[in-house]
Amino acid sequence: MRAAGFRLDLIYPADDPHTAMLSQGRESVRLMKPGAQPLPEAMPPFTSEFVLTKAGATPGEGRAGMLYRDLIPGRLGGRYVASHITIPGGGPVADWVHYHRVALQMIFVRRGWVRVVYEDQGGPFVMNEGDLVLQPPLIRHRVLESSDGLEVVEISAPALHETLADHRLELPGAYRPDRHFSGQRFRRHVAGGAPWTGWNGAESQQTPMSDATGGVADVRVIRPAGASEVAVPPHDGELVFGFVLDGTASLMGSALTPDDAFVVPPREPWTLGEMSDGFRLLHVTTERLT
């Protein structure tokens, strides 16, 4: 239908689209796959469980031709989705100015680079390996181009949410870096040169995500710094998520290798052991979402 002049106004979910809205002038049409799951009317209740997702699953094609691998298959009751997203071929990305109806969303670059542009954040910029952005609710943005083999980890809440096109807005626009979007601010973490500090006997590179979200989420990268084991105290919130960026370790006796992901139930301590010198872990926690 897009070849017939229709434009895409809405699509969801991003990782495996089953619903889309297209329009042409005053005419609009909704396309849905059989059994399409409806959007939640409110934030789904959090379901606590231990999750260990091993590397190796074949990713599926999602929005804008990107490949998505599901890192939390059960979605914790529909509360969270985490995706390992890849773009195998570099160059321009078939994206458009869009936004998401979410309570929380962040993007971490695992490999390669990507050029993006955001509403009220000045001109386009490049995110490199280890960089991170908080995408506050409803902020307009666009992925412009990427390197070959780009890999990012995206975490969003709720799991099922809309991607909506904004056909009228042209980016870049104004520069208002302290603008609030539903109580959150856009923040960009640049890994290069960011300090490492002690963390439960290991080291972590902290990010500005806690401040940007008003304490809703915290993100860090962990490395052993000579330690072979680290005992992590319980987190009295909701999400406790890890993604292995590099190296190997064990999680309470289970082997961890690159691209593995896990979720530990809140209020439970956990231990990383047998950490290799090159071990790096993306670690994300959240408080209780409302």
The answer to whether residue 22 is domain-embedded is no
Q: Is the pLDDT of residue 158 over 70?
A: yes
Q: What is the pLDDT of residues 10-58, one digit of tens each?
A: 999 999 999 999 999 889 999 999 999 999 999 999 999 999 999 998 9
Picking from 139, 156, 189, the residue at the C-terminal end of a domain is 189
Cβ–Cβ under 8 Å, residues 115 and 92: no
The answer to whether residue 83 is domain-embedded is yes
Cβ-Cβ contacts under 8 Å for 62 (sequence gap 6 or more): 13, 14, 15, 16, 17, 68, 83, 85
Q: Is the pLDDT of residue 63 over 90?
A: no
If asked whether residues 60 and 181 sit together in one domain, one would say yes
The answer to whether residue 12 is domain-embedded is no
If asked whether residues 185 and 201 sit together in one domain, one would say no
Looking at residue 162, which CATH number applies to its domain?
2.60.120.10
Q: What is the pLDDT of residues 176-234, one digit of tens each?
A: 998 999 999 999 999 998 999 999 999 999 999 999 999 999 999 999 999 999 999 99
If asked whether residues 185 and 163 sit together in one domain, one would say yes
What is the DSSP pairing of strand 261-263 with strand 240-246? antiparallel
If asked whether residues 248 and 173 sit together in one domain, one would say no
pLDDT number for residue 129 = 98
| Structure-derived torsion over alpha carbons of residues 113, 218, 57, 151, reported in degrees to the nearest 10 | 0
pLDDT number for residue 5 = 79
Picking from 138, 161, 189, the residue at the C-terminal end of a domain is 189
Q: If you average pLDDT over residues 122-138, what whole number do you get?
A: 97
If asked whether residues 206 and 281 sit together in one domain, one would say yes
- Find the range with the poorest average confidence among 60-64, 114-118, 133-137, 284-288: 60-64
pLDDT number for residue 2 = 54
Q: What total of structural domains would you count in the chain? A: 2
* Separation CA 280–CA 208 (nearest Å): 19
* Separation CA 205–CA 196 (nearest Å): 5
If asked whether residues 159 and 243 sit together in one domain, one would say no
Q: Is the pLDDT of residue 4 over 80?
A: no
If asked whether residues 57 and 184 sit together in one domain, one would say yes
If asked whether residues 211 and 165 sit together in one domain, one would say no
If asked whether residues 239 and 140 sit together in one domain, one would say no
pLDDT number for residue 1 = 53
Backbone angles phi, psi at 215, to 5 degrees: 85, 5
- As a whole number, the mean pLDDT across the chain is 95
pLDDT number for residue 271 = 97
Q: If you average pLDDT over residues 222-249, what whole number do you get?
A: 96
| Structure-derived torsion over alpha carbons of residues 12, 281, 149, 80, reported in degrees to the nearest 10 | 0
Cβ-Cβ contacts under 8 Å for 203 (sequence gap 6 or more): 196, 197, 222, 223, 224, 225
The answer to whether residue 250 is domain-embedded is yes
The domain containing residue 116 runs over which residues? Answer: 46-189
Picking from 154, 171, 189, the residue at the C-terminal end of a domain is 189
The answer to whether residue 38 is domain-embedded is no
The answer to whether residue 209 is domain-embedded is yes
